[in-house]
Amino acid sequence: MARASRQAAWEFWGTELKRRREEARLTQEELGRQVFVSGGYISQFEQACRKPQLDVAVRIDGALQTDGFFERMCRKLINESGFTDYFAAVADLEPLATKICDFEPVLVPGLLQVAPYTRAVMLADNPFVSDDEVEGWVAARLERAKHLSSPARPMYWAIVHECALRTPVGGAACMTEQLDHLVSLARSRRVVIQVIPYAQGAHAGMSKSMRLMEFEDAPPTVYTEGLFWGQLLDDLSMVKRATATYDLLRAAALSPEASLSLIDSAAESYRTT
């Protein structure tokens, strides 16, 4: 679903939520208490600032006695989002985030990828799909990456393992372009990148990708992903634990300056291959 039509669907969902809430003579805070979210959450749904969430939609149907209307609409939005079910909510929250902290143990984070690198990753996971499908995925990822160049871009911090620099995804030319891109982003001060070197050995969060997101008027979230699954959580205790793990990752990583030198050196090694 194109972003414009997706936004229109959110607005319809939000308008209907407001209309039916007011018919039930409930304030945003009162409905929020019934469905276990804040009144601010309800406000964000009604203003189409936040994508409808399936579990909340089910509870809203129960509270407002709307016979599954909001759940059905929410499922349609998820199915037509252009992303897998478990990642769709993450992609829709990215433009709202004021701060994003990524950790990737094997790959360059998606928001920092160049097209040839993304294409190589997608093809490795999906060797039998059509070129059109692959190019659609690449375009979607590059579209998301534009958030880092917008005037309202979030503060973005990425920690990667040295493995992501040394694994020749897409070949030497692809890796040269990718690592040069990381260097350019870091030097332009649009992002902060740190590398955990091989020499560090064992460290917190090994083999587990992680994303922390903070927002202006909503609780922070943590997202983790495995093979064919992902989990987006806003439970404060879980976010605190994830934040503590991210702090340990920062402590294990090289400084931003030393990391930049390592990335530059790795790019040069691919350039001379």
Find the domain containing 117 and state its range: 85-271
For position 2, what pLDDT does the model report?
42
- Strands of 97-104's sheet in order across: 192-196, 155-161, 97-104, 209-215, 221-226, 229-233
Residues 49 and 98 in one domain: no
Instruction: Look at the block and give the residue holding tokens 């349609």.
Output: 76
Model pLDDT for residues 110-132, shown as the tens digit of each residue: 999 999 999 999 999 889 988 88
Number of compact structural domains in the chain: 2
CA–CA dist 69, 67 (Å, integer): 6
Q: Where are the alpha helices (DSSP H) in 24-153?
A: 28-34, 39-46, 54-64, 69-79, 85-93, 115-125, 131-145
Q: What percent of the chain has pLDDT over 90?
A: 60
Residues 42 and 102 in one domain: no
Q: What percent of the chain has pLDDT over 70?
A: 93
With a cut of 70, say whether residue 5 has pLDDT above it. no
Read off the pLDDT of each residue in 200-222 and give the average, rounded to a whole number.
90
| Residues 214, 9, 75: CA angle, nearest 5 degrees | 80
For position 80, what pLDDT does the model report?
54
For position 48, what pLDDT does the model report?
82
Domain stops at, among 79, 108, 128 = 79
Model pLDDT for residues 44-81, shown as the tens digit of each residue: 889 887 777 888 999 999 999 999 989 888 877 655 55
The CATH number of whichever domain residue 125 belongs to comes to: 3.30.870
Residues 33 and 152 in one domain: no
Domain stops at, among 79, 109, 144 = 79
Instruction: Look at the block and give the residue holding tokens 């976010």.
Output: 239
pTM > 0.95: yes or no: no
